[in-house]
Amino acid sequence: MSTRLINFTLNGQPVSTAIEPHRNLVELLQRFDLFGARESCGQGLCGCCTVLVDDKAVSGCLYFAVWVDGKSVTTIENLDADGQLSPVQQAFIDCGAFQCGFCTPGFILMSQQLLKEHPNPSDDDIRHYLSGNLCRCAAYPEIIEAVKQAAKAGAKAPA
Amino acid sequence: MKQVGREIPRLEARAKVTGRAEYAHNLRLPGMLYGKVFRSTVPHGRIRSIDTQAARAVAGVHRVVTGDDIRKLIPEPYYGPAFHDQPILAIDKVCHVGEPVAVVLAGDPHVAERAAHLIDADYEELPAVYDEIAAMHPDIVVHAMLKPAGTNVALDYHLRRGDADAALARCEQVFEHTFKTQQCLHVPFEPFVAVAEPADSALTIYTSNQTPSFVRSEIARLFGWPENRVRVKVPYLGGGFGAKVYVKLEALVAALALMVRRPVKIALTMEEQFYMITKHPTTFRIRSGVGGDGRVVARACEVFWNGGAYADIGPRVTQKSGFTSPGPYDIENVRIDSYELYTNRTPAGALRGFGIPQLVWAYESHTDLVARALNIDPVAFRRDNILRDGRPQASGTAMKDAGIAAVLEAIAARMGWSERKFDRGAGTIRRGRGIAIGFKASISPTTSVAIVNIAADGSATLYTSTSDMGQGSDTAYAQIVGEVLDVEAEDVRVVHPDTDVTPYDMGTLGSRSLFHMGNAVRLAAEDARTKLRALAAEAGLPQGTNYPPAEIFKKRYGMQAGNVIGSASFVPTYKSPDPQSGLSDNVTPFWMIGGAGAEVAVDIETGAVRVEKLINAADCGRPINPAVARTQLSGAAIMQLGFTLSEIMHLDGGQVTNASLADYKIPGIRDIPPMDNILVEAEQHSGPFGAKGLGESGTFGVSPAIANAIHDAVGIRMTELPITAEAVFRALRKQQGRALEDA
């Protein structure tokens, strides 16, 4: 199958690769040994595949890889690029906001976006904003606590 | 205690929040082929032919494999933990929609998928049976060739204690009800995945699995190999919940890898999970006789477990959970008849509770109905009938360290059951409250082995075959090792299952790990400590002094060298139930107790039920890590909330019509009611530092507590799960004498 050459920024680094047009963003990231975005439901319903494209959260399983051409892609693996966990990551640890950890990167990226838009979210804001992410271990009460703690810590999404 | 009782974050916390935790899902190996499964479209049929020509012609397809190819490699390619009844790929016939019939192997999973769509199988369709009661009549037999032939009963278990029939005949007050549960499933977010890598006369399997030791022995048995030629490695699991026990994809990838002499990976889609393993639908007929003093004197339980097309672990559910069917009550006369049935559905197995939630659903709904009929307060009625420590459970095993009353009282107190004036609502919104408690016996007999290795610098490494699927076993074990060796839990390294390295364990299931492996870990650490002291003596160090381990090694070996290896196994005693009476005075090493209290608001115009408060309580022994324990309790309860209110697999001609998260509704963040999670601390004397398992206890009481609350609110009794708004609305209309006609 024919491929297309795409150039994009991946976690701050310019990269290029040739990829078939039917591949999704999760598959593209796997080529770069990034496995934090995970395809689970395959329908954009669970949020396990969440990736930031130009600072906006997208479902990597429904997002064609070629669409990132010319764009900037940020994955969970970049949040501690300076060696420090982000406040949201730290809050997830402090509040025990995960069990198996499979959905956790998606929740953390969405929570960062939430706090960027609503620095002081109510419980309802949090529930509404994170309703597109599912957690089968059902760490939801702890996730809500974690988002509130991160908000208190003055969490900022990565620029 | 320095380490036990600490609320430390999970050891792998950083790996999980940075997306770097290792899952089988991530694994790619050089030269690896991807397998895509072609599945049966009919629920029951003889295979006339399988046309793979078009699939084989697709560019990039390496090979297409059918059951006949598997049989050339393995003459008897049937596996299973209870019976060897499940073929690696269908042979001669198919028994459920979605059964694997062929596999396409290709270097690109998309190519394999496209080619799999081009396979065409021709079936002679046979009549199918889906319902467990219908399956009791052998008009349609799922397996003609299996033992027992001519019936769908895979296993029947019977218990006779006292004389229930005679006692029921004597009782003035006899109550009988029937309750049903639906087919639903685990939905781990890391769908089933396994990779097999062949080597010279050996095989390595990387898999998302809860029972690596079983996988090893079962694959070795299939190939006729010694176990040491099969290596099974398990990283973190992206959820398990009982789905990933025993062999699932492992036999298939192993056979394929040997056939093509290349690594083979099969990763299921979310949709395919609906055809792998599910939770038993059940029908439970329960009959109780009550004396004038409000004591239950007799109970007869008939439980029919819909096991689907292959036995998996269903027969053990039928027996090992079956003997708790009468509930946590002190009843002199008990009859239990528990049947595991084959049907033409996706197989059913273990799901967070191993059948217990289905049983509690029935006996606690029934208990509530009996209390109401007798006009006795439901908490008081339970209190008067509860099994107390020292009293024999139906099996004949005396209760020990079982906080049944403590859990009941904790829930009642938190709800303000007796003292609080409860707002019953008004107008179209009516409110009610309900309570339910349940119990489970830990599976027995089982074995766990652990190894603790102290390096020459004094650092400790633990080797176990427990799979950490989110329950926090790595962390709890590290705390146990830390406690024994007087080191920080965070400094203990926990090696994940690798059967070349980590010792035998029966499996990460049934909430058994913390108790069984936890005990083995403690004993192995103590063994290491004893050996370290012996080493100090050998080195000529005075006894009774506390030299740092590194000093001891240096003194003994003249440099930083050597190891101390402690090991231990833990095997609780057990007595098999008598084949006639089903009785045993030592049927389990420990009891799990869980319960729930629910306050609900029912909209009588729509049938919508809103859970306004959910209180979960469980006897957790003495928790090793209370913070992790609370999340287990909470997570289990929320999972059961999904099974109570929304989750159901809809079938049409054996085909699941809602095999997707779009139509199979699991709880989301907006569905979580206000919750209180109560750890009822009660020493488990035989547990490691007093601890016991907790992974399932939170599921026990949720469904009946909600049904009891709905009854309290609007006077209708829901007898089937899930309790959807539609089901409640239909029941309300029926109550008003205006039943919907299409019901």
Largest Cα separation within chain B, whole Å, is 90
Q: How many angstroms separate the CA atoms of B346 and B341, rounded?
A: 12
CB < 8 Å to B28, chain A = 30
CB < 8 Å to A137, chain B = 239, 470, 635
Say which amino acid occupies B35.
Answer: G
Interface of B with A in 140-159 (CB under 8 A): none
Determine, for residues B189 and A40 on separate chains, whether the beta-carbon distance falls below 8 Å: yes
Candidate from A35, A36, A93 with C-beta closest to B13: A93
Determine, for residues A138 and B634 on separate chains, whether the beta-carbon distance falls below 8 Å: yes
Q: How many CB pairs under 8 A join A and B?
A: 155
Q: How many angstroms separate the CA atoms of B479 and B496, rounded?
A: 16
Angle between helices A104-117 and A87-94 (to 10 degrees): 120
Coil, strand or helix at A78: helix
Percent above pLDDT 90 for chain A:
96
Determine, for residues A104 and B15 on separate chains, whether the beta-carbon distance falls below 8 Å: no
Q: Give the mutation candidate from B7, B27, B669 for the A interface (greatest A CB count, under 10 A).
A: B669
Strand partners, B45: B94, B125
Determine, for residues A43 and B662 on separate chains, whether the beta-carbon distance falls below 8 Å: yes
**Neighbouring C-beta atoms of residue A16, cutoff 10 Å:** 11
Mean pLDDT for chain B?
Answer: 97
pLDDT at A1: 66
pLDDT at B742: 77
Candidate from B20, B25, B631 with C-beta closest to A99: B631
Say which amino acid occupies B199.
Answer: A
Radius of gyration over every alpha carbon of chain A, rounded to an integer in angstroms: 15
CB < 8 Å to B14, chain A = 85, 93
CB < 8 Å to A102, chain B = 23, 25, 188-190, 238-239
Residue in chain B closest to A95 (alpha carbons) equals B9
Angle at B276 between CA B91 and CA B45, to 5 degrees: 35
Does residue B59 belong to the interface with chain A, where contact is any CB pair within 8 Å?
Answer: no
Interface of B with A in 237-256 (CB under 8 A): 237-241
Helix, strand, coil tally for chain B in percent (to 5): 30, 25, 45
Which H or E run includes B712? helix B702-714
Angle at B287 between CA B333 and CA B362, to 5 degrees: 110
Strand partners, B349: B279
Q: Give the mutation candidate from A99, A107, A123, A133 for the B interface (greatest B CB count, under 10 A).
A: A99
CA–CA distances in Å: residue A123 to residues A127, B61, B198, B260: 6, 51, 51, 54
Determine, for residues B670 and A77 on separate chains, whether the beta-carbon distance falls below 8 Å: no
pLDDT at B145: 80
Q: How many angstroms separate the CA atoms of B248 and B215, rounded?
A: 9
Interface of B with A in 609-638 (CB under 8 A): 627-628, 631-632, 634-635, 638
Is pLDDT at A100 greater than 60 in this prediction?
yes
Strand partners, B494: B462
CB < 8 Å to B631, chain A = 96, 99, 139, 142
Average pLDDT over residues A56-69: 98
Decide the pairing of beta strands B296-306 and B333-341.
Answer: parallel
Angle between helices B473-485 and B513-538 (to 10 degrees): 30
CA–CA distances in Å: residue B159 to residues A158, B162, B562, B583, B599: 63, 10, 55, 7, 36
Least Cα separation, residue B670 to chain A (angstroms) = 6
Residue in chain A closest to B13 (alpha carbons) equals A93
For B443-452, the pLDDT digits (tens) are 999 999 999 9
Structure tokens at B539: 């080195």
Does residue B669 belong to the interface with chain A, where contact is any CB pair within 8 Å?
Answer: yes
Please check whether residue B162 is in contact with residue B332, taking contact to mean a CB–CB distance below 8 angstroms. Answer: yes
Please check whether residue B587 is in contact with residue B575, taking contact to mean a CB–CB distance below 8 angstroms. Answer: yes
Determine, for residues A134 and B628 on separate chains, whether the beta-carbon distance falls below 8 Å: no
User: What are the residue ranges of helices labelled H in B351-485?
Assistant: 356-373, 378-385, 404-415, 473-485
Decide the pairing of beta strands B230-233 and B202-207.
Answer: parallel
Q: Is the dihedral of CA B722, B278, A96, B702 positive or negative?
A: positive
CB < 8 Å to B20, chain A = 35-36, 77
Which H or E run includes B63? strand B61-66
Q: Give the mutation candidate from A136, A147, A148 for the B interface (greatest B CB count, under 10 A).
A: A136
Least Cα separation, residue B701 to chain A (angstroms) = 17
Q: What is the 3-state secondary structure (H, E, C) of B67-128?
A: HHHHHHHCCCCEECCCCCCEECCCCCEECCCCCEEEEEEECCHHHHHHHHCCCEEEEEECCC
Nearest alpha-carbon partner for B675 in B611, B627, B602: B611
Q: How many angstroms separate the CA atoms of B672 and B186, rounded?
A: 18
Determine, for residues B661 and A141 on separate chains, whether the beta-carbon distance falls below 8 Å: no
Q: How many angstroms separate the CA atoms of B692 and B689, rounded?
A: 9
Decide the pairing of beta strands B153-161 and B120-125.
Answer: unpaired
Q: How many angstroms separate the CA atoms of B661 and B57, rounded?
A: 34
If pLDDT is split at 50, 70 and 90, which confidence band does A159 have?
A: very low
Determine, for residues B270 and A22 on separate chains, whether the beta-carbon distance falls below 8 Å: no
Q: How many angstroms separate the CA atoms of B331 and A92, rounded?
A: 47
pLDDT at B186: 98
Nearest alpha-carbon partner for B349 in B545, B584, B509, B535: B509
Coil, strand or helix at B288: strand
CA–CA distances in Å: residue B539 to residues B534, B543, B555, B556, B722: 9, 11, 6, 5, 67
Please check whether residue B401 is in contact with residue B407, taking contact to mean a CB–CB distance below 8 angstroms. Answer: no
Structure tokens at B437: 């408690």
Residue in chain B closest to A142 (alpha carbons) equals B631
> Which residues of chain B are modeled with pLDDT < 70?
147, 743
Candidate from A40, A104, A136 with C-beta closest to B16: A104
Interface of B with A in 170-189 (CB under 8 A): 186-189
CA–CA distances in Å: residue B510 to residues A95, B694, B696: 26, 9, 7
Interface of B with A in 458-497 (CB under 8 A): 469-472
Dihedral angle at the C-alpha atoms of B371, B373, B376, B381, nearest 10 degrees?
Answer: -20
Please check whether residue B700 is in contact with residue B437, taking contact to mean a CB–CB distance below 8 angstroms. Answer: yes
Hey, which residues of B are catalytic here? 696
Can you say how many angstroms the Cα of residue A96 is from the centroid of all Cα atoms in its chain? 18
Least Cα separation, residue A69 to chain B (angstroms) = 22
**Neighbouring C-beta atoms of residue B9, cutoff 10 Å:** 20
Average pLDDT over residues A4-21: 98
Determine, for residues B238 and A144 on separate chains, whether the beta-carbon distance falls below 8 Å: no
Per the model's pLDDT, the better-predicted residue between B83 and A154 turns out to be B83
- Beta-carbon contacts of residue B402 (< 8 Å; ≥ 6 apart): B328, B387, B389, B439, B591, B593, B619
Determine, for residues A126 and B187 on separate chains, whether the beta-carbon distance falls below 8 Å: no
Helix, strand, coil tally for chain A in percent (to 5): 35, 15, 50
Q: Is the dihedral of CA B214, B219, B220, B224 positive or negative?
A: positive
Determine, for residues B661 and A126 on separate chains, whether the beta-carbon distance falls below 8 Å: no
Could you give phi then psi for residue B689, rounded to 5 degrees?
55, 30
Q: Which residue has the tokens 């205006």?
A: B738
CB < 8 Å to A103, chain B = 189
**Neighbouring C-beta atoms of residue B547, cutoff 10 Å:** 17
Say which amino acid occupies B75.
Answer: P
**Neighbouring C-beta atoms of residue B160, cutoff 10 Å:** 18
Q: How many angstroms separate the CA atoms of B383 and B410, rounded?
A: 12
Least Cα separation, residue B474 to chain A (angstroms) = 12
CB < 8 Å to B16, chain A = 98, 101, 104
Structure tokens at B375: 């006009």
pLDDT at A155: 47
Q: How many angstroms separate the CA atoms of A26 and A86, rounded?
A: 23
Structure tokens at B500: 């070349």
pLDDT at B419: 87
Can you say how many angstroms the Cα of residue B716 is from the centroid of all Cα atoms in its chain? 31
Determine, for residues B667 and A104 on separate chains, whether the beta-carbon distance falls below 8 Å: no
Q: How many angstroms separate the CA atoms of B625 and B627, rounded?
A: 6
Determine, for residues B189 and A46 on separate chains, whether the beta-carbon distance falls below 8 Å: yes
Dihedral angle at the C-alpha atoms of B662, B668, B669, B674, nearest 10 degrees?
Answer: 150
Q: Which residue has the tokens 């025993």?
A: B246
Strand partners, A57: A52
Is pLDDT at A20 greater than 80 in this prediction?
yes
Determine, for residues A35 and B19 on separate chains, whether the beta-carbon distance falls below 8 Å: yes
Does residue B686 belong to the interface with chain A, where contact is any CB pair within 8 Å?
Answer: no
Nearest alpha-carbon partner for A101 in A39, A30, A25, A36: A36
